[in-house]
Amino acid sequence: MKLELDRASDVPLTDQIVTGVQTWIRSRAAHPGSRLPSIRQFAADYAISRFPVIEAYDRLVSLGYLDSRHGSGFYVSEHARSGLSGMGTCDLSNAADESGHLLSQLEREGELLQLDSGSIPQAWRDIDALGQAIRHVSRSDPASLVDYGTPTGDATLREHLRNRLAPLGIVAETQQILITEGASEGLDLLMRYMLKPGDTVFVEDPGYYNLYGLLKLHGVRLVGIRRTASGPDLDHLHAMLAEHHPRAFFVNTVFHNPTGSTISPPVAFRLLQLAREHRFTIVEDDIYADFQADPTDRLAALDQFEHVVYVGGLSKTLSSALRVGYVVANPAIVRDLAAIKALTSISGSRFSQAVAATLLERGAYRKYLERLRRRIAEAQGSATRTLEAHGWELFGSAAASTAAASAARGYAQTGGKFVWARVPHVEDSTRLAACGEPLGVAVSPGSHFRPQGEASPWIRINVALTLDPRAQAFFAAAARLDG
Q: How many residues in total does the chain contain?
A: 483
The pLDDT value recorded for residue 97 is 54
Measure the CA–CA gap between 81 and 30, rounded to whole angstroms.
10
Separation between Cα atoms, residue 448 and residue 209, nearest integer Å: 6
Collapsing DSSP to helix, strand or coil, 150 comes out as coil
Domains and CATH numbers, the chain: 13-87 (1.10.10.10), 95-123+366-479 (3.90.1150.10), 127-363 (3.40.640.10)
Question: What's the whole-model pTM score?
Answer: 0.77
CB 52 within 8 A of CB 58: no
What is the rounded distance in angstroms from the CA atom of residue 213 to the CA atom of residue 95?
4
pLDDT at 1: 78
SS3 205: strand
Q: Which residues contact 370 (CB under 8 A, 6 or more apart)?
A: none
Listed in sequence order, the residues at least 6 apart from 147 whose beta carbon sits closer than 8 Å to its beta carbon are: 350
DSSP H/E element including 308: strand 308-313
pLDDT tens digit at each of 483 positions of the chain? 788 898 888 788 998 998 889 888 877 677 888 899 999 999 999 999 998 999 899 888 877 889 888 788 999 987 665 433 333 344 444 554 555 555 555 555 557 899 999 999 999 999 999 999 999 999 999 999 999 889 999 999 999 999 999 999 999 999 999 999 999 999 999 999 999 988 999 999 999 999 999 999 999 999 999 999 999 999 999 999 999 999 999 999 999 999 999 999 999 999 999 999 999 999 999 999 999 999 888 999 999 899 999 999 999 999 888 899 999 999 999 999 999 999 988 888 999 999 999 999 999 999 999 999 999 999 999 999 999 999 999 998 744 433 443 443 445 567 899 999 999 999 999 999 999 999 999 999 999 999 988 999 999 999 999 999 999 999 999 999 986
DSSP labels, 359-396: HHHTTHHHHHHHHHHHHHHHHHHHHHHHHHHTT-EETT
**Dist CA 185 CA 211 (whole Å):** 11
Cα distances (Å, whole numbers) of residue 21 to 12, 31, 32, 65, 456: 15, 12, 13, 9, 38
Q: Please classify residue 391 by burial: count the beta carbons closer than 10 Å to its beta carbon, then call 0-12 exposed, 13-18 middle and 19+ buried.
A: middle
